[in-house]
Chains A and B, each alone.
Chain A
């Protein structure tokens, strides 16, 4: 009912605020371990959906940029890459990066800024948006450019509703993209031109990076793995969690995930949590072992192509979304499954 005045105003508003016919997008190219992240590659696909040019921005220490730049120029779909090197950029501290991003946005007249929904972008982009006085849009799952402006959809309430929004302000659209909603851009023979950009060195940054405690893993990255095997509270201990899920994950070449209950109980590392407040995954195959299926967990995996649930409680909510539910004791069923699964070629 309060929407009515807005609806009446809409034709005027949209004429006033229509996006330029040719968007010019800045894409934050995040990198980890010397590679552009899968999330950034998905964000590029999303940015291309708008049409127009997409310029990548790559920041980091001198060595990091040297390491990643040759790979970044090969990514299909980038019109140009801006590279900025500074020791103060090596840990992507938002306080250090925001002045650079703000300057580039203002000087080069970008209409859109895209990035993946990563912990780095989630920290950086809203801070930047506030300084530019614009309202950012988080975790976008679809994009369309209509005659009267750009329109985005994003999940709200742990993915239990989808909101379709349209910016009604002048100024840059700052968007984080849900990686699982867009395919990753490919690497090919292209050779995007590079422009080096002077870093902005601040006399004082209020935040200092002390150390990183990375979770070592030889497995595929959880967010982009094609198969995910996840465990819940029923795994009883960290040892049993590992002993039960590792053989299954190994056999399938899968990443390992966990429910909040398993993480809170200390069975699995925080970074493995799948759900509203953890990672959002959408693999081809998601195997939930000993997970009841709370709303918050489903929020992180219900876009998976095929969901398998193994649980001994036939009333567990996970069975309502599972394409194949097996009511069984996981300690018997999982080893049997490992035995009977065909070997990977």
Chain B
């Protein structure tokens, strides 16, 4: 253990006294000692700010992607008494955070999963913890609350301010329930950070303090470099998420989970869009079969969709 600064001063004073040095030398000695101590402390005990990254991964509890959804009778939404799971794009985001740590072990200090949702959304956080997140934050809202991306982005900003600093936030590119695809970009806008949407590959360069991201854009791919801190949204092809193993699911139950309410974070979650109604899309009258290729072509001619054959 290093002696505290004061102990060191006393020590130095005693030594100088014993050696019979003039009393005027004492402040000089103390100054040198303090300077030495501070530089030693800086060199050994404090990490340089960028060498230890903290990652925040927001996740959402959604109706499971395989469920055939049904609009409710009141036309206010869909039936939600069905299987839920983590939004598939968020699984990819969690996976990427965990893989970053596996790739650059000593550089990732921690991975925090955060969700905004009803009490049941805790299951989703436990899944993220079982996949490899270290701790979790649950911003609890009533079951009936419709929290829009703007409010979610504001809540996430508040979580970053409360629990940060975070250098990297990895989100899914969209939630498969509201299909909005806005939250990551909105958070980046609120924070004033760089953003990389629709990421299919990312490489963190600690030395430069940046991350190189390959993005899936209309017509191909694009590569960009974003300075940290940055917001990344994950596309489907970023990775293949792992399954949580039983031992990890058990361990996840013991990992810390902190709860907040929107009021604690000072965020108003009142919706800005009024949902007038939710309806079924028009039904297709499909289901007709043809026997062979000739019949198929006849049918297409009849429908007038063949070029030059009308």
Segment among A75-83, A152-160, A185-193 that sits at the interface with chain B: A152-160
Cβ-based interface call for A264 (8 A): yes
Cβ-based interface call for B276 (8 A): yes
Instruction: Identify B290's interface contact among A13, A260, A324, A344, CB under 8 A.
Output: A324
Segment among A45-53, A104-112, A230-238, A334-342 that sits at the interface with chain B: A334-342
Cβ-based interface call for A239 (8 A): no
CB <8 Å contact, B305 and A305: yes
Cβ-based interface call for A296 (8 A): yes
Cβ-based interface call for A197 (8 A): no
B55 to chain A, nearest CB (A): 18
Separation of A10 and B188 alpha carbons in the complex (Å): 33
Per-residue CB contact flags for chain B residues 177-195 toward chain A (1 = under 8 Å, else 0) read: 1111111111111100111
Cβ-based interface call for B176 (8 A): yes
The bracket for how many chain B residues form the interface is 35 or more
Instruction: Identify A333's interface contact among B212, B224, B277, B293, CB under 8 A.
Output: B293
Instruction: Identify B220's interface contact among A118, A151, A215, CB under 8 A.
Output: A215
Q: Which of B142, B150, B217 has the largest count of A CB atoms less than 10 A from its CB?
A: B217
CB <8 Å contact, A166 and B273: yes
CB <8 Å contact, B272 and A296: no
Question: Can you name the residue of chain A whose Cβ is closest to the Cβ of B226?
Answer: A207
Cβ-based interface call for A199 (8 A): no
B1 to chain A, nearest CB (A): 41
Segment among A19-27, A55-63, A64-72, A129-137 that sits at the interface with chain B: A129-137
CB <8 Å contact, A126 and B182: yes
Cβ-based interface call for A244 (8 A): no
CB <8 Å contact, B195 and A127: yes
Cβ-based interface call for A227 (8 A): yes
Instruction: Identify B222's interface contact among A1, A206, A212, CB under 8 A.
Output: A212
Interface residues of A in 17-48 (CB under 8 A from B): 32
Chain A hits for B189, CB < 8 A: 98, 126-131
Per-residue CB contact flags for chain B residues 208-245 toward chain A (1 = under 8 Å, else 0) read: 00001001111111111111001000011100000000
CB <8 Å contact, B177 and A6: no
CB <8 Å contact, A120 and B217: yes
CB <8 Å contact, A227 and B307: yes
Chain B hits for A143, CB < 8 A: none
Cβ-based interface call for A276 (8 A): yes
Interface residues of A in 147-195 (CB under 8 A from B): 151, 154-169
CB <8 Å contact, B281 and A213: no
CB <8 Å contact, B181 and A323: no
Question: Can you name the residue of chain A whose Cβ is closest to the Cβ of B308?
Answer: A345
Separation of A208 and B303 alpha carbons in the complex (Å): 49
Cβ-based interface call for B28 (8 A): no
Tell me what chain A mostly uses at the interface: helix, strand, loop, or mixed.
Answer: mixed
On chain A, the number of residues with a Cβ less than 8 Å from chain B's Cβ atoms is: 101
Chain A hits for B76, CB < 8 A: 3
Chain B hits for A227, CB < 8 A: 305, 307
Cβ-based interface call for A138 (8 A): yes
Cβ-based interface call for A113 (8 A): no
Chain A hits for B85, CB < 8 A: none
Separation of A207 and B211 alpha carbons in the complex (Å): 10
Chain B hits for A165, CB < 8 A: 273-276
Given contacts A127-B189, A207-B195, contact A162 B279 (CB under 8 A): yes
Given contacts A139-B179, A285-B305, contact A277 B236 (CB under 8 A): yes
Instruction: Identify A213's interface contact among B176, B221, B272, B289, CB under 8 A.
Output: B221
CB <8 Å contact, B179 and A213: no
Cβ-based interface call for A198 (8 A): no
Per-residue CB contact flags for chain A residues 271-305 toward chain B (1 = under 8 Å, else 0) read: 10000110000001100000000011000001001
Chain A hits for B200, CB < 8 A: 270
Chain A hits for B293, CB < 8 A: 326, 328, 333, 336-337, 340
Chain A hits for B216, CB < 8 A: 119, 270-271
Q: Which of A130, A269, A336, A337 has the largest count of B CB atoms less than 10 A from its CB?
A: A130
Q: Which of A163, A164, A319 has the largest count of B CB atoms less than 10 A from its CB?
A: A163
Per-residue CB contact flags for chain B residues 253-268 toward chain A (1 = under 8 Å, else 0) read: 0000000000000000
Cβ-based interface call for B297 (8 A): yes
Q: Can you report 26 A-B residue pairs in the complex whose CB atoms are below 8 A from each other?
A: A10-B274, A13-B274, A94-B185, A123-B195, A131-B189, A135-B149, A158-B179, A159-B281, A161-B69, A161-B78, A206-B230, A207-B227, A209-B223, A212-B220, A223-B218, A260-B236, A307-B286, A320-B287, A322-B288, A324-B288, A326-B289, A327-B289, A337-B293, A340-B293, A340-B297, A341-B297
Which 4 pairs from chain A and chain B are nearest by CB?
A206-B194, A130-B189, A130-B186, A126-B185
Contacts A1-B144, A277-B235 aside, 6 further interface pairs with beta carbons under 8 A come to: A161-B281, A168-B271, A277-B173, A321-B286, A322-B288, A337-B296
Q: Which residues of A contact B (CB under 8 A)?
A: 1-3, 6, 10, 13, 32, 91, 93-95, 98, 118-120, 122-131, 133-139, 151, 154-169, 205-215, 223, 226-227, 252-253, 260, 263-264, 269-271, 276-277, 284-285, 295-296, 302, 305-308, 319-328, 333, 336-337, 340-345
